[in-house]
Amino acid sequence: MVAFGAIMMMLDGYDLSAMGLAVPAIAEAWAIEPSSFRWALSASLMGVGVGSLLAGLCGDRWGRRATLTGMFGFGAMACLGTVFATNVNELVFWRFLVGIGMGGAIPNIIALVSELMPAKRRPLMIVLVYSGAAVGGGLGSLLASVIVPLYGWQSVFMVGGILPLVVALFVFKALPESPAFLIANGRRDPQASATILRLRPDFPKDQTERLSFVDSGLGLRPGVGALFGKNLGIATLLFWTLFICTQAMVFFIQSWYPTLLTRNGYDIETALQIFSLWDFGALTGGIVVAGLASHFKLEKLLSFAYLLAALCLGMLSLDIQNTTVTQILTFATGFSVVGASFCMGALAAGFYPSEIRATGVGWGLGVGRVGSISSPLIGGAVLAAGWTNSEIFTTAMLPALIASISVFALSLLIQKRSKNNESI
């Protein structure tokens, strides 16, 4: 399951980055400025938000596997549709649909992995799946450099459509539906038992029906309203705050950090070399935090990670001129900010009951898009207003501190639920 999830996230990452890979070639072919594609580049990001909101609900109502493969296939066909675009408006249309499909696959991948993996290994497995998106984006750059000169810009989207369609069909046939989903819906217990035995052949067959009964959930009906029922409302608002703050930090730094480095006196080449440490820190942080979750509470680890992010941003606000120190702080910021973001899905998936797990994760990701869309715009506005690097980094500490407080509050709620023996 982890391998399938990572492959799907890798193709997801490729498809979402495909527009950026193709822009130079399309601009040359159509004889227009690259800046004309700004809405086409943003359309998939907006679609991801819509897809996350819709597919979370669908996953809890009709199943993770069916929704996952359906949304993934939809995104793949939209990517193929991009091949036939003849103007920027058509690109915007197709890229928005790609975002809906690929964004809709993400919460269901997380929910399915969460429900098919042992609880102690769940955070690490979800991070490994998430890392597939970064791999897909990186491999996409290498692939595009080879196929675009040979076959034109359309080849980028042909690959992004055909491969996901093949994988979607294979996954639908090969992957089992989540036993937790089947049990929560209470209508296909024999199928749930068969899946349990498929995952654990050593498990006593006569015990699966008893497990099905015990694991049957809290009676929540799939829907957004359920996120605020059964004493979940405060936790849901805290999760949404956490997703917004985290995505705001991630996309602000990814959008403007190289520019801020050049304002601090670095040339473009050096600034990009320093910024590459952000990505290395991100992947390292996700794996380390998730690995430590086997020994420590994930919510406490995340709270510490956000405090570390605030500390790093605070030190960057000092306009340190030492390159080595800047490199260390860049790595540590990626380690803490993106490393924590990789684990948010695991925390949300572990918190929400199975009946609304995909909805909880999907709406967290979807609402979080408020941060990812607004923070680059806010960054551009404060730069235009003449803010110094010190003022910008000091302000960037705020979402890190809010995220840390939100996770700490969530840890108190989780502790309270554990004492009351409530199922999560």
CA angle 311/317/320 to nearest 5° reads 100
Which pTM does this prediction carry?
0.76
Segments forming the whole domain that contains residue 308: 224-419
Q: What is the CATH number of the domain that holds 308?
A: 1.20.1250.20
Work out the burial of residue 156: count CB atoms within 10 Å of its CB; fewer than 13 is exposed, 13-18 middle, 19 or more buried.
Answer: buried
* Tokens found for residue 407: 């996770």
Q: How distant, in Å, are the alpha carbons of 10, 129, 160, 168 from that of 136?
A: 4, 11, 11, 16
Cα–Cα distance, 341 to 338 (Å, whole number)? 5
Claim to verify: residue 264 and residue 396 sit in the same structural domain? yes
**pLDDT tens-digit profile, the chain (424 residues):** 677 788 888 888 888 778 878 888 898 899 988 778 878 877 888 898 899 888 888 887 888 888 989 999 999 999 999 999 999 999 999 999 999 998 888 888 888 887 777 777 777 788 788 778 777 876 887 888 889 899 999 999 999 999 999 998 888 887 777 777 776 666 555 555 555 555 555 555 555 454 443 443 455 566 788 888 777 899 999 999 999 999 999 888 877 888 888 888 888 788 878 888 887 888 788 788 878 877 888 888 899 999 999 999 999 998 788 899 999 999 999 999 988 888 888 888 888 887 788 888 889 988 998 888 888 888 888 888 899 999 999 999 999 999 999 999 999 988 887 776 554 4
Which pLDDT does position 201 carry in this prediction?
56
Claim to verify: residue 170 and residue 236 sit in the same structural domain? no
Tally of structural domains, the chain: 2
Claim to verify: residue 108 and residue 228 sit in the same structural domain? no
Which pLDDT does position 257 carry in this prediction?
85
* Cα 410 to chain centroid, rounded: 20
Claim to verify: residue 170 and residue 245 sit in the same structural domain? no
Rounded-to-10 torsion of CA 249, 251, 255, 259: 10
Claim to verify: residue 231 and residue 353 sit in the same structural domain? yes
Cα–Cα distance, 163 to 193 (Å, whole number)? 32
Q: Give a yes or no: residue 195 inside a domain.
A: no
Claim to verify: residue 171 and residue 257 sit in the same structural domain? no
Claim to verify: residue 255 and residue 153 sit in the same structural domain? no
Cα–Cα distance, 124 to 301 (Å, whole number)? 13
